[in-house]
């Protein structure tokens, strides 16, 4: 392998169906889970998921993520910046409590520190469960948690 091959950008997670399937299983999702995929690689990922038995998988345009019904998982299977992820999730209740967010992060965000991504997600009500590197892709799996203000009232 030449040096240039070692540093080539990885294809998006959405273009690698087997890797996407492994990550969904690692996140605890099943073929009956309600999964929405978004972003430039989202349509490819949605097609692969549907062809492989994920009966409730569908593509949703990033503009409509904030208006969609609550689902089990939201997947951004392309290199997503922290700012893009914040804009996608801010003010949206698209994931049910306990729902899973799976996002392929940009190299810049990973180089900037995983704590910054975790802090940003925590501010939006998510807890990072796993950080994975797969074929040069950096993937974050986070789960929506109860908001602290509701925990105190209970």
- Which domain CATH number covers 108? 3.40.50
Residue 2 forms part of a structural domain: no
- Separation between Cα atoms, residue 62 and residue 91, nearest integer Å: 13
Answer yes or no: are the C-beta atoms of 77 and 46 closer than 8 Å. Answer: no
Number of structural domains in the chain: 1
Residue 17 forms part of a structural domain: yes
44-85 pLDDT, tens digit per residue, is 999 999 999 999 999 999 999 988 889 999 999 999 998 999
Q: Determine the pLDDT at residue 112.
A: 59
Helix (H) or strand (E) holding 82: helix 82-89
Residue 133 lies in domain: 8-35+51-153
* Contacts of 124 by beta carbon, 8 Å cutoff, 6+ apart: 86, 89, 90
- Separation between Cα atoms, residue 143 and residue 154, nearest integer Å: 21
Residue 42 forms part of a structural domain: no
Retrieve residue 140's tokens: 């974050």
Torsion of CA 143, 144, 146, 147, to 10 degrees: 130
| pTM of the predicted model over 0.75 | yes
Residue-wise pLDDT tens for the chain (154 aa)? 433 344 445 689 999 999 999 999 999 999 999 999 999 999 999 999 999 999 999 999 999 998 888 999 999 999 999 899 999 988 778 899 999 999 999 877 666 555 788 888 999 999 999 998 878 899 999 999 976 544 444 4
């Amino acid at each position: 392998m030449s040096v240039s091959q070692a540093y080539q950008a990885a294809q998006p997670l959405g273009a690698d169906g087997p890797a996407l399937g492994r990550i969904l299983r690692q996140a605890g999702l099943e073929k009956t889970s309600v999964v929405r995929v978004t972003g430039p690689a989202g349509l490819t990922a949605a097609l692969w998921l549907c062809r492989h038995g994920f009966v409730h998988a569908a593509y949703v345009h990033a503009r409509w993520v904030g208006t969609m019904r609550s689902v089990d998982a939201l997947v951004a299977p392309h290199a997503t910046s922290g700012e893009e992820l914040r804009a996608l999730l801010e003010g949206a209740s698209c994931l049910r409590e306990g729902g899973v967010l799976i996002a392929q992060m940009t190299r810049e965000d990973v180089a900037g520190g995983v704590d910054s991504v975790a802090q940003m997600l925590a501010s939006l009500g998510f807890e990072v469960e796993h950080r994975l590197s797969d074929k040069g892709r950096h993937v974050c799996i986070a789960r929506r948690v109860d908001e602290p203000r509701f925990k105190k009232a209970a």
